[in-house]
Chains A and B, each alone.
Chain A
Amino acid sequence: MGASILAVTKLSIKQSFKTCYAWLLLVLSVLCIVGVWGRGSEPDMMRQITLCWLPSAIVIIFSIGALWMGCSSMANDIEEKRFIGTAVAPVRKSSVWIGRWLGLMIASSIVLLVVFLFIGFCATITIGAERPREQLELLQTAKNRTSEEIYSEILLSASLDSGEEINQTSELRDKAIAEIRSQLAWQYFPVKPGSSRSWDFSLDGFGPKKNETILIKLAFLSNIGTTGGADGILKIYGLSSKVNAVEELVYEHALSSELRGNVLISVPFDKLSDSDTMRVVFENAEERAGGVGILVGYEESLQAFAPNGGFWLNLFYGYLMSLGILSIMAAMGITTGMQYSFPVAIFTALVVMLMFVIASGDAINQFETISDDGHNHGGEKKPALFTETIKASAQGVSKAVHYVTASFLEEEPMTKLGANQLIEKRRVGEWLVVSLVILPAILCSLGSFVLSRKEFK
């Protein structure tokens, strides 16, 4: 079995290079790089272009290529009867599938590696190989707060704004709470004038070097949802788990209401090196009567990032996650190519992949729709069984796809590369297991079964 897999793999690699497929990918990548070279004068924009948009565009090209090549290599072999020579040999159909997939993956990954190395080289020249930052884990969260509590805070905040007590009917109250639950869940995080709120972040496992900084990102919104700002003080404390350790103020930063929207504060790491927890305290010093400075959005309101890992390691993680996409595309192409003639196979593969993309993007909304349905049926007329079945099926598919692609979608490797954030190693591992082992194994079984039932006229 190993010898036959090796033979098919070698054939597939030769096919990729001798039919110019691999070279075409390289040429298209060079065109992409040349096309965006020098665009964007701001370092942030340059980083975004070089490490997010460029690799994203290249991975899309490679993915289409892998799907196309996987499909055509099998479908054309069968259609043009070249497969007969392999079919009469003592080879398992799964060996053919694995060999084809491996060959295509090896050829694509070699070219993609060259392209990623070149992108990395370009990035180090233009924007420097700054250590990527990893988001610090928020220890003390607002997740335990109920939507009723958040509603009360909003209501109180609105009452303070208007200077009079606001009474809502129970119907409006229920609707508002449902709205918070479904759309704005945990997003409002008001800090009223004169009050303060703290966030604790774990420093465990982080090793920023001396002279490096921890980045604190605040997001200000006014109480009506527009970009806002607040006068206040940001205090940073270092906490240690050591016995008798005291909370030590290590940094203080004054914030002016002129700083609006997203605000980035760099905190020197030096004094935090002995702490295992960092406490960030925001004190609202707004003096205007009835004025409110609000930090909004639980996920976005306050984040902390510390340098971790290395630039090339992060790029390598991005490369590995991209390989996962190529793997799925190649596997899908080969499987459909085993079943249909090339035009039908490529059409089927594209439709399946499109459904995959739509389902993965729509999955979260589907979850919310399901949870909303549980609350909002009320006296409304129940939908027909057919509609329910279709809806349930769509939601089922959506859930399954989201479950499969969760590690990739949540990690968003290219976005993180562009934002100089570390791609999480565990997520890379999860994605590689799904995309390089589980999904290909399922598609291999399907393709081999189809091929074993096929007649070669």
Chain B
Amino acid sequence: MENECIIKVENLQKVFKDFWLRPKTRAVDGISFSIKRGEVFGLLGPNGSGKSTTIKLLLGLLKPTAGKISVLGHEPTHTITKQRIGYLPELSYLYKYLTPRETLRYYAGLFGLRGKAAEERINKLIEQVGLSSAADRAVGEFSKGMARRVGLAQALLNDPEIVVLDEPTSGLDPIGRYDVKQLVKELAKQGKTVLLSSHLLSEIEDVCTSVIILSQGKIIAQGDLYKILADQNRVQLNIEGMDLSALPKIAEQISAAGGTYKAGHPRMPLEEYFLKELGKNK
């Protein structure tokens, strides 16, 4: 069941045409990949590489020029399949006159959620994305980051099997980014499949298990992230609680085995340090 391919893309192409139906831009150029159930899959690439177009093709928002897409065994436009997908677009497009609670109620209605169950789910998500204090303010008054949080709650409203997140941390502060990463990890633990698109490498690196790297609409690398990044010629040792006077002996043994080494204290990622210091202040 775990190895089941729930998204399968074969030779996918998308060519945007002009008014006279002449080919204008080849946004996606014959890509093929598959995503297994429970994977956190990263779509990586610079701006204009075709990440968002690929996602929109997978969601049925765009129609492919050529190629095949299967999502949960159906075409992306299949109405019932959409019930099992959650989507966070690259920018949060919300109705400014609605509050987050009203926004979520609207989307809950679209997904057929009603009554007490819907209200409980909405309250839980509002709390989860940290909008409890602003749940009844109009979205139009929100900062970009807060609007992003509403979008995130909207994407998770239907408890989807597949969560598609397009640049989920754009506009978020470091705490928000950290929360999103934790959320993605939590979703992965729950066995959900996450498709994450970003041009922020650290984001992908932290949470994804598999990636494809796109450039000009083509896949230039793909596979298991650990395998792609692992340097088979080097070994990393993280030692804790050792007397530093023992270090020359270890170095001697490395040299004797024909290896070279660099010693130093590992650096804490800035994000981790920032959150640690912020925690102290609180």
Chain A residues, CB < 8 A from B189: none
A143 at the binding interface (Cβ < 8 Å):
no
Residue pair A456, B62 in contact (C-beta under 8 Å) = yes
CB-nearest residue of chain B relative to A87?
Answer: B61
A90 at the binding interface (Cβ < 8 Å):
yes
Residue pair B109, A7 in contact (C-beta under 8 Å) = yes
Contact of B111 among A8, A14, A19, A90 (CB under 8 A): A90
Residue pair A10, B109 in contact (C-beta under 8 Å) = yes
Interface residues on A, range: 20 to 34
- Return the CB mask of B90-110 against A: 1 if under 8 Å, else 0: 010111011000100111111
- Return the CB mask of A7-21 against B: 1 if under 8 Å, else 0: 110110011001100
A197 at the binding interface (Cβ < 8 Å):
no
| CB<8 Å pairs between A and B, sample of 16 | A3-B110, A6-B109, A7-B105, A7-B106, A7-B108, A7-B110, A14-B102, A82-B95, A85-B154, A88-B60, A88-B87, A89-B111, A91-B79, A91-B110, A457-B16, A457-B62
Contact of A15 among B61, B95, B110, B154 (CB under 8 A): B95
- Return the CB mask of B141-168 against A: 1 if under 8 Å, else 0: 0000000000000100000000000000
Contact of A90 among B83, B87, B91, B114 (CB under 8 A): B83
Residue pair B95, A11 in contact (C-beta under 8 Å) = yes
Given A4-B112, A89-B82, A457-B62: A15 touches B97 (CB 8 Å cut-off): yes
Given A11-B95, A90-B112, A455-B63: A85 touches B83 (CB 8 Å cut-off): no
Other than A4-B110, A11-B95, A84-B87, give 17 A-B pairs with Cβ distance below 8 A. A3-B114, A7-B107, A80-B93, A81-B93, A85-B94, A86-B110, A88-B87, A89-B110, A90-B79, A90-B81, A90-B82, A90-B83, A90-B110, A90-B112, A456-B61, A456-B62, A457-B56
Residue pair A11, B82 in contact (C-beta under 8 Å) = no
Chain A residues, CB < 8 A from B91: 81
B80 at the binding interface (Cβ < 8 Å):
yes
A427 at the binding interface (Cβ < 8 Å):
no
CB-nearest residue of chain A relative to B86?
Answer: A88
Residue pair B93, A14 in contact (C-beta under 8 Å) = no
B89 at the binding interface (Cβ < 8 Å):
yes
Residue pair B61, A455 in contact (C-beta under 8 Å) = yes
Chain B residues, CB < 8 A from A91: 79, 110
Residue pair B97, A89 in contact (C-beta under 8 Å) = no
B214 at the binding interface (Cβ < 8 Å):
no
Chain B residues, CB < 8 A from A81: 89, 91, 93
Q: Complex: how many Å from CA A81 to CA B147?
A: 15
Given A11-B106, A90-B110, A90-B111: A82 touches B94 (CB 8 Å cut-off): yes
Chain A residues, CB < 8 A from B114: 3
Min distance, Cβ B28 to any Cβ of chain A, angstroms: 13
Interface members, chain A 85-144 (any B CB < 8 Å): 85-92
CB-nearest residue of chain B relative to A86?
Answer: B110
- B residues near A (Cβ < 8 Å) are 16, 56, 59-63, 79-83, 85, 87, 89, 91, 93-95, 97-98, 102, 105-112, 114, 154
CB-nearest residue of chain B relative to A89?
Answer: B110
Given A88-B61, A88-B85: A14 touches B98 (CB 8 Å cut-off): yes
Q: Complex: how many Å from CA A7 to CA B16?
A: 33
Nearest 5 pairs of A and B residues by beta carbon: A7-B109, A18-B97, A89-B110, A90-B82, A456-B61
Q: Complex: how many Å from CA A18 to CA B97?
A: 6
Chain A residues, CB < 8 A from B94: 82, 85
Min distance, Cβ B121 to any Cβ of chain A, angstroms: 14
Min distance, Cβ B41 to any Cβ of chain A, angstroms: 18
Residue pair B106, A456 in contact (C-beta under 8 Å) = no
Q: Complex: how many Å from CA A3 to CA B115?
A: 11
Q: Complex: how many Å from CA A336 to CA B94?
A: 22
Chain B residues, CB < 8 A from A456: 56, 61-62
Residue pair B112, A3 in contact (C-beta under 8 Å) = yes
Residue pair B93, A82 in contact (C-beta under 8 Å) = yes
Chain A residues, CB < 8 A from B108: 7
Min distance, Cβ B116 to any Cβ of chain A, angstroms: 15
Which of B60, B63, B80, B93 has the most chain A CB atoms closer than 10 A to its own CB? Answer: B93
Q: Complex: how many Å from CA A7 to CA B95?
A: 14
Chain B residues, CB < 8 A from A15: 95, 97
Q: Complex: how many Å from CA A399 to CA B85?
A: 49
Which of B62, B110, B114 has the most chain A CB atoms closer than 10 A to its own CB? Answer: B110
Residue pair B59, A88 in contact (C-beta under 8 Å) = yes
Min distance, Cβ B265 to any Cβ of chain A, angstroms: 47
- Return the CB mask of A437-457 against B: 1 if under 8 Å, else 0: 000000000000000000111
Contact of B93 among A11, A19, A84 (CB under 8 A): A84
Chain B residues, CB < 8 A from A85: 87, 89, 93-94, 107, 154
Residue pair B107, A89 in contact (C-beta under 8 Å) = yes
Chain A residues, CB < 8 A from B81: 90
Q: Complex: how many Å from CA A87 to CA B83?
A: 12
Q: Complex: how many Å from CA A15 to CA B140?
A: 13
Q: Complex: how many Å from CA A265 to CA B274?
A: 95
Chain A residues, CB < 8 A from B63: 455
Q: Complex: how many Å from CA A457 to CA B81?
A: 21
Min distance, Cβ B93 to any Cβ of chain A, angstroms: 4
CB-nearest residue of chain A relative to B82?
Answer: A90
Residue pair A88, B82 in contact (C-beta under 8 Å) = yes
CB-nearest residue of chain B relative to A457?
Answer: B62
Chain A residues, CB < 8 A from B61: 84, 87-88, 455-456
Chain A residues, CB < 8 A from B16: 457
Chain A residues, CB < 8 A from B102: 14
Min distance, Cβ A295 to any Cβ of chain B, angstroms: 62
Q: Complex: how many Å from CA A419 to CA B223?
A: 81
Q: Complex: how many Å from CA A85 to CA B158?
A: 13
Chain B residues, CB < 8 A from A89: 82, 107, 110-111
Q: Complex: how many Å from CA A64 to CA B178?
A: 50
Contact of B109 among A4, A18, A80, A92 (CB under 8 A): A4
Q: Complex: how many Å from CA A10 to CA B110?
A: 11
Q: Complex: how many Å from CA A18 to CA B107?
A: 18
Chain B residues, CB < 8 A from A92: 79
